[in-house]
Amino acid sequence: MPHRLSTISAEIFSVPLETGEYLIYAPKRRIAFVANSKTVNVVVAFKNAEHAKAEQYDKSTVEFLCKLGIFDDAYDSSHTFFPSPKRSEVSFDFLISSNSETCCSYCDTNYASQICKTGIGRPMDLLIARKGIDLLFECMKDLNRNTGSVNFHGVVDDKKCWSVLTDSMSYLQKKSSKSSFQIKSLITTRSFPQGINQIQWMSQNLDSCSLIIEAGYKDSDIENGLGLRDILDDVIVKTLESFEKVLFPYELTLALKNDQVISLPDVVDLILHYLRPQTIRIEPRYRFWGPWDGNPSSETVQFVHAFRECRARAMKSGIKVIFPGTELIAHTNFCGKDSGSFTLSPEGELRICCGKHSESHFGNINVLISDSTTSEETVTPTFRQLWVNHSNQVESRSYCKKCFAKFNCAGDCFESRTTEFKGSERCYVIRELTQDQLLDKIALSGGLFFKD
């Protein structure tokens, strides 16, 4: 029997499966396995400190739980809002134009969609970009992190924004060359490079690119047998083909409308027949998540079914399909952003989400930084405060406390929701897709258990 029963994880969930078995998940210890009802009873008995009752069960079951780390020397993390061991980097998103396509699809105000029709917007000042890079380095030093990333969000077909991108990268590369830090550089954009010179620059200076695409099809169109260029604009296809010629890694984000769900698996099939993105992200741009009454709508069930079919088909090609609201390792929060990621606005405001909310109860902090220098005395407390603000996450909500997916859930937008959260249809989506990922990881680990 375990000799230190008091260390049993306080966060152990048993999720019923259609097979009659249970998925046992200890998120704070990153352990998952499939078990029968007898094992569930053992876990419940120890969790309730009913040791005498637990002793009635098979000794091998208890020994199995001990070996997994449910008992003994495996302690729960006391700081769940810090990045997981596999997500130890500090990440900054730079909104290099005031209407950067940040894809804030989980935000009630949908900030990106509101302003995307207003033109290019005001580009980020190069001074702010440089100070943001300085801040990243100071934060990495303060938090003792060796790796970081900068993700530029914005258009690349505007000269001013392109200049901010290239000049910022030049500054980042120069600063990186004088340090031991490893910094990844990425770009997320809806626009496309103008000519081979821009494509070559991106492939030589950036690590990867995430392209946001609104595919031009309806479910009814697919039945008539469309080709790739019927779904994606010719300029999109040519750009992606150019990326592949120069071996530049890219990711596709499909902005999904409600009349595109049924045909989504066929569309993904068609894309992968011609192209090889690293991953495909599926982001619904319609509000399929209404108030939760305990039963998902047919529309929500339809999305989950289509997403699962996409994943299964893409897996055959070795391509990963992602729903940003559920990524196990990234520990997502807010609008799909993880707990090591922050956003720098064109105005120099450091945020913990992509949206712009002037009445933020999170206390977004202006890094700047109105003078010409950014001192370490200013930077460190600023960032630490925002880092602590990440503790106010999904798992802190009273409604979410009993949900096994709470540590991996992007949830509704914390910035804009002022009323008490009482669940939504997204809860069903998050739970179903999180369960899928855990079962996949168990299968890939040999079929018995998953331990990260």
The CATH number linked to 321 is 3.20.20.70
Show contacts of 69-72: CB within 8 Å, 24+ apart: 69/29, 69/31, 69/451, 70/8, 70/9, 70/12, 70/26, 70/29, 70/31, 70/43, 71/2, 71/4, 71/5, 71/7, 71/8, 71/46, 72/2, 72/3, 72/4, 72/7
Which of 318, 333, 348 corresponds to the end of one domain? Answer: 333
Q: What is the DSSP string of 143-209?
A: TT-SEEEEEEES-SSSHHHHHHHHHHHHHHHHHHHTSS-EEEEEEEESS---SHHHHHHHHHH-SEE
Domain of 37, in residue numbers: 5-78
Answer with the residue of higher pLDDT: 395 or 312. Answer: 312
Q: Residue 337: which residues within 8 A CB-CB, separation 6 or more?
A: 93, 343, 352, 353, 354, 410
Q: Give residue 388's pLDDT band: very low, low, confident or very high (50, 70, 90).
A: low
The residue behind tokens 């809806």 is 190
CB count, 10 Å around CB of 341?
24
Alpha-carbon distance 301 to 247, whole Å? Answer: 37
* Side-chain-side CA neighbours of residue 269 (13 Å): 12
C-alpha dist (Å) from residue 29 to 42, 70, 129: 18, 8, 38
Alpha-carbon distance 59 to 331, whole Å? Answer: 35
Please say whether the beta carbons of 450 and 443 come within 8 A: no
pLDDT at 171 over 80: yes
For residues 189 and 67, membership in a common domain is answered with: no
Tens digit of pLDDT for each residue in 407-420? 777 665 555 554 56
For residues 56 and 143, membership in a common domain is answered with: no
Which of 302, 333, 364 corresponds to the end of one domain? Answer: 333
Tens digit of pLDDT for each residue in 10-65? 688 999 999 999 999 988 778 899 999 888 888 887 777 665 565 666 778 878 88
pLDDT at 112 over 50: no
Q: Give residue 97's pLDDT band: very low, low, confident or very high (50, 70, 90).
A: confident
pLDDT at 249 over 90: yes
Mean pLDDT of the 344-360 span = 66
For residues 194 and 67, membership in a common domain is answered with: no
Tens digit of pLDDT for each residue in 315-345? 999 999 988 777 765 555 545 566 667 788 8
Answer with the residue of higher pLDDT: 136 or 56. Answer: 136
Which of 50, 78, 106 corresponds to the end of one domain? Answer: 78
pLDDT at 276 over 90: yes
Q: Give residue 191's pLDDT band: very low, low, confident or very high (50, 70, 90).
A: confident
Answer with the residue of higher pLDDT: 305 or 260. Answer: 305
Please say whether the beta carbons of 386 and 366 come within 8 A: no
Mean pLDDT of the 176-197 span = 88
Q: Give residue 289's pLDDT band: very low, low, confident or very high (50, 70, 90).
A: low
**420 located within any domain:** no
Let me know if 316 is exposed, middle or buried by CB neighbors in 10 A (0-12, 13-18, 19+): exposed
The total domain count for the chain is 2
Answer with the residue of higher pLDDT: 383 or 363. Answer: 383
Answer with the residue of higher pLDDT: 246 or 361. Answer: 246
Give pTM, 2 decimals: 0.82
For residues 120 and 43, membership in a common domain is answered with: no
Answer with the residue of higher pLDDT: 201 or 118. Answer: 201
pLDDT at 121 over 70: no
**Alpha helix positions (H), 15-158:** 37-47, 51-54, 59-68, 111-115, 126-142
Please say whether the beta carbons of 23 and 32 come within 8 A: yes
Q: Looking at residue 84, what is its pLDDT? A: 45
- Average pLDDT over all residues of the chain: 76
**31-45, 83-97, 232-246, 282-296: range with lowest mean pLDDT:** 83-97
**410 located within any domain:** no
For residues 93 and 71, membership in a common domain is answered with: no
DSSP E strands, 339-435: 341-344, 349-351, 365-366
Q: What percent of the chain has pLDDT over 70?
A: 67
Q: Residue 316: phi, psi to the nearest 5? A: -65, -25
Answer with the residue of higher pLDDT: 125 or 103. Answer: 125
For residues 68 and 107, membership in a common domain is answered with: no
**304 located within any domain:** yes
pLDDT at 165 over 90: yes
Q: Looking at residue 173, what is its pLDDT? A: 96
**252 located within any domain:** yes
**359 located within any domain:** no
Alpha-carbon distance 129 to 391, whole Å? Answer: 27
**288 located within any domain:** yes
Let me know if 144 is exposed, middle or buried by CB neighbors in 10 A (0-12, 13-18, 19+): exposed
What pairs with residue 365 in β-bridges?
Answer: 350
Strand order in the sheet with 147-153: 320-322, 279-284, 250-256, 208-213, 182-189, 147-153, 90-95, 341-344, 349-351, 365-366
Q: Looking at residue 34, what is its pLDDT? A: 94
- Measure the CA angle with vertex 28, ends 25 and 32; round to 5°: 25
**2-6, 229-233, 283-287: range with lowest mean pLDDT:** 2-6
**383 located within any domain:** no
